[in-house]
Structure 1
Amino acid sequence: MRLNSYDDFTPLKEVILGSATDYAQRLRDLSFDMFISDNLTGARGYYPSITDWRPSADRDHRNEPAKLALKERFLDELVEDIEGLGTQIAQLGVTVHRPMALPPSLGEVTAPGWSAPVTPPLNVRDNTLILGDEIIETPPTLRARYFETQFLKPIFMNYFDQGARWTTMPRPMMTDSSFDPDNLPNAAPNIEAPQDPQASPYDVGVEIMIDGANCLRLGRDLIVNISNANHALACDWLERHLQGRFRVHRMHRLTQSHIDSVVIPLRPGTLLIRSERVLDFLPEKLRSWDTIVSPTPEIHDYPQYEDGNPIPASPYIDLNLLSIDENTVLVNDACKTLIHTLEQHHFTVVPVRHRHRRLFGGGFHCFTLDTVRTGAAENYL
């Protein structure tokens, strides 16, 4: 089919599902530390800040990369759960596309000013934004994911051959100076500021950086969460590029980055939200929609890990669900209360296993990139 995706809830026909195969290690560097702090204004979450996670001897060197080995058993279970997700989506009549395999011997990618291990294309929602008939590769916010969309190129090329537009936003140099150093007054709380950023001959100042998961797609309307100068520059670019085709709405400081575990449109007129406080940040016309408030997760709802490694994802990661249509949603089978809540609102819930969602940072929405839905450029707002 031709590329066509304007929203997250009309009937899903084709989707890209990410892969965790050969995800051997995680790079802890400045870009990672600034990215994963928990989000919603006024809430610290269930764990300490990223600064507190680091051993005391390392806290004065927070920008220096550190590689975190990932346990093989957890990786095997993650791969098993993703394959199960793909099977379930296909059984619902959706065509599932998969990325190219990551060669185990690929090693590091080196760019001017930094290097990082190549990570597999797991959370494919982040580095690509599908708007109608256009693929937009977004400028990465994590160095280790700089070339992640390369593993999606055969799929993108197929859609291009069928008439899709295909655009790549400006690629950042991603030196320490690329990241907004003054974001604390303007950012959602708990975001980390660069500590002693190092000068580089490749510095160009604060750059355009944003993830597709910062955005909420509603037909002709695109809502963009802005928490720092990097996001604001990216929104400038989107406004100019999409002028006359989409309306871009700026939403300030709802979270430090992604919003797909905070506000989720389930159908026209209905939102699933993390808490009532979310409404204060939404565009005015969206505040009038019906809302389903998520039950509060408890710490014992999740696997506990012994080694004290950072747990990137919010405790609300299970709101990161995937809609098959306006009545059918895929939800983590561990979330009994959320499933019951959605069923009370007359949704058909398909439970799917996903064990290590907080450790690896991703849910069903993160793992998927919907490329064909039946929806059009509607005026939902």
Structure 2
Amino acid sequence: MDLAGVHGTSLEPLPLQMGDRAMPHDPATPQDSLAVNSWNEWDPLEEMIVGSADNASFEPTEPGSRPAIRNRPETPFPTGPKSQEAVDLANEELAGLADLLRSQGVTVRRPGPHDFSAPVRTPDFEVENQYCAVCPRDVMITMGNEIIEATMSRRARYFEYQPYRKLVYEYWNSDPRVGWTTAPKPSMADGMYREEFWDWPLEKRHERMHSFEFCVHQDEVVFDAADISRLGRDILVQESMTTNRAGVHWLKRHLEPRGFRVHAVHFPLDFFPSHIDCTFVPVRPGLILTNPDRPLREGEEAMFLRNDWELVDVPEPVLGNHEMPQYCQSSKWLSMNVLSISPTKVVVEEQEKPLQDLMAKLDFEVFTVPFRNVFEYGGSLHCATWDVRRRGTREDYFPDLDYRPLV
């Protein structure tokens, strides 16, 4: 398919890829790397990157983002560096998560220093400052023995891979079996965005919810890594404000020759979708936590039900949308942004007692850490981590699945 086109070209929303043609011959599963190895969201965790709030700034207003103070939208959003108090509070909680992981035998690494107050200027755009390194999950993802750097979708996050680059070189140099791919950087020029999107009333969003057209056009490859969820051989990618259909096509064309099956998924009742890990969260083989406010598009649940997966709605969060931190741009559903240490161990935010009880009922050993001060930076436990190594191999958790590859 030719993705080139004039500004505004729209690809059809990608269906979940099921059909009557079998997957072509799988290439041999690559030899496991001792440095980089992670095929899903739940295998026993061995090495993890935990984010840092050092030198963080407020995310600026730009075509892909219009931050607003919660409950005070008429008040101008702050600009420039975060206060040292806000940075210290978040760093204390991030350090607490790192300590918990170490207590479970996990090697923990942290991103390098970066000046997020520095402006960015390219031939296509400029922005007054950058954002933060709290959420490595947004930028980096491990696909088996390969590290992939996402394109990103916002100007302030264009260079957010830099705090992780020294670590990536270390992994890449340590083992010739480690792959490293940087996805093509989009222009982030004005024409890449649909700026009128921000002015649509909710009624118009509801009318257009099945077209899955958001603030980014379809001409360039755009995706955030946090819109991806790994289930062994099968990869889920959410079409969203931060991942367009060209981004899904790029991932399919890159991953299918390596033996993966890539499925686009949609949540039509989420009018501002951004990152799948507060909506559809796999925690072990056969079990996915689901968001009761954001059901899958009709028909897309068949892949899971036919293969005996259980979809379990999470309880209402302890905090409502109006009680979230005032500078947080995420929804109350950060509550379900849990982190799996293994198929039997999960980390849940300290105050989310209803979710903790559900996970215990589902036979998990539940660990808790306070994380509310990290919410201001756009993520919770899963967002604030990037798993580099889990103990396991690529498995097929969907044996009853016909798949139509893109190429």
TM-score normalised to the size of structure 1? 0.82
Q: Residues of 1 paired with 2:159 and 2:195: CA distance? A: 24
Q: Please say if residues 16 and 368 of structure 1, whose CA atoms lie closer than 8 Å, have aligned partners that are also in contact.
A: yes
Q: Contact 1:129–1:136 (CA<8 Å) still a contact in 2?
A: yes
| Structure-1 separation of matches of 2:121 and 2:210 | 31
> In the alignment, which of 187, 193, 203 is matched to residue 173 of structure 1?
187
Cα pair 1:29 1:66 within 8 Å, conserved? no
My pick for the range that moved more, 275-284 or 7-16, is: 275-284
Gaps spanning 5+ residues in structure 2: where? 1-33, 198-204, 399-407
Aligned counterpart for 2:89 among listed residues 77, 87, 101: 77
Counterpart of 1:285 (choices 284, 291, 303) is 303
Change (3 A) 1:189 1:299: farther
Give how far 1:115 is off.
2.3
Give the root-mean-square deviation of aligned CA atoms.
3.0
For 1:156 and 1:380, the matched residues in 2 are separated by 29
Q: Distance in 2 between matches of 1:169 and 1:361?
A: 23
118 and 280 in structure 1: CA distance in 2 versus 1, 3 angstrom threshold: closer
Distance 2:392 2:293 in 1: 28
Bigger proportion of residues as strand? 1
- Aligned equivalents of 2:218 and 2:287: distance in 1? 41
The equivalent position to 1:108 in structure 2, one of 119, 134, 148, is: 119
Taking the TM superposition and a 5 Å limit, the aligned residue runs for 1:284-363 are 284-287=302-305, 288-299=308-319, 309-363=326-380
Q: Which residue of 1 aligns with 2:13?
A: none
8 Å CA contact 1:314–1:358 kept in 2: the answer is: no
Distance 1:276 1:376 in 2: 33
- Size of the aligned set, in residue pairs, is 346
Pair 1:249 & 2:263 matched: yes
Letter in 1 for 2:363: H
- Higher mean displacement: 73-82 or 228-237: 228-237
Do the aligned partners of 1:330 and 1:352 also contact (CA within 8 Å) in 2? yes
Instruction: In structure 2, give the amino acid aligned to 1:97.
Output: R
> What is the TM-score of this pair, normalised by structure 2?
0.77
Letter in 2 for 1:239: K
Give how far 1:236 is off: 1.0
In 2, the alpha carbon distance for the partners of 1:301 and 1:207 equals 33
- Aligned-pair CA distance for 1:75: 2.3
Correspondence 1:53 to 2:53: no
Q: Is the 8 A contact 2:345 2:364 kept in 1?
A: yes
- 1:258 is aligned to 275
Give the CA deviation at 1:192.
Answer: 6.7
Q: Which string of whole-angstrom CA distances, capped at 9 and with x for unpartnered residues, describes residues 302-351 of structure 1?
A: 8665xxx5531110102111100000001111111111111111110011
Superposition pairs of residues 1-381 of structure 1, within 5 angstroms? 1-33=34-66, 53-55=73-75, 67=79, 70-103=82-115, 107-112=118-123, 113-161=125-173, 162-163=175-176, 164-180=178-194, 187=209, 193=215, 206-227=219-240, 231-244=244-257, 245-253=259-267, 255=270, 256-275=273-292, 278-280=295-297, 282-287=300-305, 288-299=308-319, 309-381=326-398
Is the alpha carbon distance of 1:302 and 1:267 closer, same or farther for their aligned partners in structure 2, counting shifts above 3 Å?
Answer: farther
For residues 85 and 302 of structure 1, do their structure 2 counterparts lie closer, same or farther at Cα, with a shift above 3 Å needed?
A: farther
Sequence identity percentage: 29
Q: Residues 228 and 92 from structure 1, CA distance in 2 versus in 1: closer, same or farther, beyond 3 angstroms?
A: closer
Q: What is the rounded CA distance, in whole Å, between the counterparts of 1:243 and 1:182 in structure 2?
A: 35
Structure 1 residue 91, shift from structure 2 partner = 1.0
Question: After superposition, what is the alpha-carbon deviation per residue over 1:94-137, rounded to whole angstroms, capped at 9, x for unaligned?
Answer: 01111111247x62222222124133321000112211111111
C-alpha displacement of 1:286: 1.4
Q: Distance in 1 between matches of 2:301 and 2:368?
A: 31
Which range moved further: 349-358 or 138-147?
349-358
Q: For residues 335 and 318 of structure 2, what CA distance do their matches in structure 1 show?
A: 12
